[in-house]
Amino acid sequence: MSRLRQLSRHLYVYQDTCLVYLLVDGEHGLLIDGGSGSIVDQLGALGVRQIEWVLHTHHHRDQCQGDARLVAHGASLAVPEQEAHFFTEAEQFWRSSRQVHNYDLSTDSFTLSQSVPVAATLADYASFRWRSYTIRVLPAPGHTKGSIVLLVEVDGQTVAFTGDLIAGPGTLWHLYDLQWSYGAGLGGSDGLQPAVCALADLRAATPDRLLPSHGEIMDDPSAAIDALMVNLRDLVRHLEADANGATGNSRPVGLVPDRRLVQLSDHLWMNQYSFANTYILVSDRGDALFMDCGYAAFHHVIAGFRFTEHSIRELAQRAGLKRVDLFIPSHYHDDHIAGAPFLQERYGTRIWAHEVMVDILEHPRSYALPCLLPTPIRVDRSLRDGETFEWGGFQFSIIHTPGHTRYHAALLVEVDGLRVAFTGDTLHAGSAGPMLGGPIYQNRFALGDFETSIERLRAWQPELLLTGHTGAAEVDTAWLDIATRRARESAVRLRTLAPVAEDVGFSLDPSWVSIYPYQSTVRPGRYLDLTVQIHNHGPDCTAMVALDSPTEWTVAPHQAMVEIAAGSEGEACFRLGVPLDWTGDGPAVVWADVTLESGTSIQPFGPVAHGLVLVTGAQPSDGHDTVGEDVVLRSLVDLQSAVQTKKPGV
Ligand SMILES: [Zn+2]
Ligand SMILES: [Zn+2]
Ligand SMILES: [Zn+2]
């Protein structure tokens, strides 16, 4: 099938990294979103000599990566007023973007790496006139905060260019784009309410056709929108019911400077004032095992993510603590591990962790994930999944429990006759039963994760759950049954919203393509090796992968082809060469451009993942300075910190 299709006499659609719409007036054309810009190669056949304007529905890179090419072709750009800065100040965005302690879940970083000239902005409710057409602008926050819908009369029909507000009857292209911030209610997706308002406004505008950026063209707009409203309401009702009206935390109220610990059993202690909750096992010898150790109170987050010591003095007084021997985290989020570098440095505490999170702890800047602690943590022992070990006279096992994040584990131990599971943020105990610790899409979430993890916990038959934000909870089989049912029900609703139910993983996992390491440092004249990792959420496929970098840099290979079986991962390696005279300001943004081929289907996703490369002129301290020498450097900050943490603990 041709990638270019005529929809009506003056309107065409072109299948690119997004659906590109072309409005024609004689020899002149106007585009709604431009994709890769490759539509210019098709214009001759239509008798169109000149694209005069490109109007954007939002700033995402699959919509506008070809803007520089289209501008060179003579087109002018008109962009949503609320998002103009993404187009005109791209370099500033990347210079100031937050990489650690990041609680912003929005997909703002799926944006241009270099600024483009903007000729006009599209203000809410304004009209844009082009030749005989009047294009109306409707605000449509949801998919992005500044998204717009464009309405125009063409060939006797009112058509609506909807961007990614809707993908088909009842479906959304991505669910994760609607989750803007942590703990924002509405089942964690704060973009849903604005999106639902925008859908209602769109329906009231009575368009004849909906033309989405991804998905299928809809000729019955009201039915398509109503179906989506039903599905979204159903999802939110379900996720809100799951939360039981409780917020993410059930901290005791009041000011408590001291005596913050609760003794759960002879050897087990809890600090429920700390953010997240800290659990400590104290052995008969006075050795302590800390299970998570984050900020002393939630407000230390507001105080600039400030770690201050807590629990230890009180344990020494009340529990006979003599040595802070061991720390084992549930996961890598800063609210659970902020104390780890301190314990390691101050008390020589050993750090053990489940293998799934070791690399994140040791090289946080190699990952693009929310809630990262910037300080690398040296892990003394990597625990295999299912491994059992003894500490302080207690028998432990550790299991992988994805859901809240893919990189999460639970510690199982029998203490003072109680079967205890330290579950971190996988499961919480709400006022009326279990609460799932998600979905939080940016943490990396797959559809069956919660159910699998609950099953793994159930096999241990825990009696006491040590949760990350709702304290210690007594549980039984019936409680876990409810948790399983909720996990299943939310999975059904999430699948319903995906344009292709079997490929739902693409709608839920914003990091299905990632660049490793995410942040790197290299000197001018050197090489840098980067790996593009791809999780294939669809059927068996061949992935065509290219790495986009500043034009002056070299990249080898030009393109890589990787066979990836359904549901598994593949990777492609690239070598980047930075010219000796490179003087770029701020981090350079590199992009992994991915197309998946499966049978007869070819899906160009465009530049879906990005990495940051800081080019620094600093001379190396190791004396090796052969220009062109192969080097793979992690972030300079990681390196410096790694050197620091090699100092022996006090
Ligand atoms: Zn988008
Ligand atoms: Zn947490
Ligand atoms: Zn967490």
Tokens of 210: 């909906």
Residue type, 247: T
* Average pLDDT score over residue span 262-279: 95
Taking only the tens place, the pLDDT of each residue in 61-106 is 999 999 999 999 999 999 999 999 999 999 999 988 888 888 888 8
Rounded to whole angstroms, the Cα distance separating 530 from 573 reads 6
Q: Residue 432: pLDDT band by 50, 70, 90 thresholds?
A: confident
The CA 323 to ligand 2 mean position distance, Å, reads: 26
* Mean pLDDT value across the chain: 90
The 10 Å CB-count burial string (b at 16+, else e) for 478-498 is ebbeebbebbebbbebbebbb
For 226, counting Cβ atoms within 10 Å of its Cβ (0-12 exposed, 13-18 middle, 19+ buried), the class is middle
Q: Sorting pLDDT into bands at 50, 70 and 90, what band is 632?
A: very low
Distance 370 CA to ligand 3 centre (A): 9
**pLDDT at residue number 237:** 82
Ligand 2 centre to CA of 333 (Å) is: 7
Residue 630 pLDDT greater than 60, yes or no: no
- On whether the CB atoms of residues 551 and 491 are closer than 8 A, the answer is no
Mean pLDDT for 612-633 is 50
Q: What pLDDT score was predicted for residue 102?
A: 86
Indicate whether 629 pLDDT > 60. Answer: no
Ligand 3 geometric centre to CA of 420 (Å)? 20
412 Cα: distance to centroid of ligand 3 (angstroms): 19
**Across residues 368-396, what is the average pLDDT?**
97
Cα of 334 from ligand 2 centre, angstroms:
8
* Rg from Cα positions in the chain: 26
- Among residues 301, 354, 275, 303, the alpha carbon closest in space to that of 102 is found at 301
Ligand nearest to the CA of 62: 1
Query: What's the gap in Å between 462 CA and the centre of ligand 3?
Result: 21
Which amino acid would we find at residue 195? Answer: A
* 100 C-alpha to ligand 3 centroid (Å): 14
CA–centroid distance, 561 to ligand 1, in Å, is: 26
The Cα–Cα gap between 259 and 579 comes to 59
Is residue 124 within 8 Å of residue 136, measured between CB atoms? no
For 138-147, what is each residue's pLDDT tens digit?
999 999 999 9
What pLDDT is stored for residue 258 in this prediction? 72
Question: Residue 645 Cα, ligand 2 centroid: separation in angstroms?
Answer: 25
Which-ligand-closest: CA of 86? 1
Q: How far is the CA of 520 from the centre of ligand 3 (A)?
A: 25
**Residue range 31-43, pLDDT digits in tens:** 999 999 999 999 9
Nearest CA to 153 out of 99, 209, 113, 105 is that of: 209
CA angle 560, 561, 566 (to 5 degrees): 135
Q: How far is the CA of 60 from the centre of ligand 1 (A)?
A: 5
**pLDDT higher than threshold 60 for residue 643:** no
Give me ligand 2 centre to Cα 469, in Å.
6
Cβ atoms 525, 627 nearer than 8 A: yes
pLDDT given at position 608? 94
CB proximity list for 166: less than 8 A, separation 6 or greater: 172, 199, 210, 212, 215, 218, 224, 225, 228
Residue 302's pLDDT is what? Answer: 82
Residue of 555, 533, 521, 549 lying closest to 631 (CA atoms): 521
The pLDDT of residue 565 is above 90: yes
What percentage of the chain has pLDDT greater than the value 70?
A: 91
**Helix 192-204 / helix 221-243 crossing angle, nearest 10 deg:** 160
Asked if pLDDT for residue 305 goes beyond 50, the answer is yes
Mind listing the pLDDT tens digit for each residue in 451-481? 999 999 999 999 999 999 999 999 999 999 9
Centre of ligand 3 to C-alpha 133, Å, is 50
Any idea of the CA torsion for 477, 479, 482, 487, to the nearest 10 degrees? -90
The helix/strand/coil state of 160 is: strand
The conformation of residue 650, written as its DSSP 8-state character, comes to -
According to the model, what pLDDT value does residue 330 have?
A: 98
Positive or negative, the CA dihedral 577, 581, 587, 590 is negative
- The strand pairing partners of 103, in sequence order, are none
What does the pLDDT read at residue 96? 86
Which residue segments constitute the domains of the chain, with CATH numbers given?
4-235 (3.60.15.10), 260-497 (3.60.15.10), 512-639 (2.60.40.10)
Winning range, highest mean pLDDT, from 93-102, 187-196, 211-220, 611-620: 211-220
Residue 245 has pLDDT above 80, yes or no: no
| pLDDT at residue 253, rounded to an integer | 58
**Residue 353 bridge partners (DSSP):** 382
Task: Provide the pLDDT for residue 627.
Answer: 30
CA of 425 to the centre of ligand 2 (A): 6
Ligand nearest to the CA of 191: 1
Please tell me the distance between residue 333's alpha carbon and the centre of ligand 3 in angstroms.
5
Interval between CA 357 and ligand 3 midpoint (Å): 13
Ligand nearest to the CA of 249: 2
Distance CA 243, CA 247 (A): 7
Q: pTM of the entire structure?
A: 0.87
Compute the distance from residue 580 Cα to the ligand 1 centre, in Å: 36
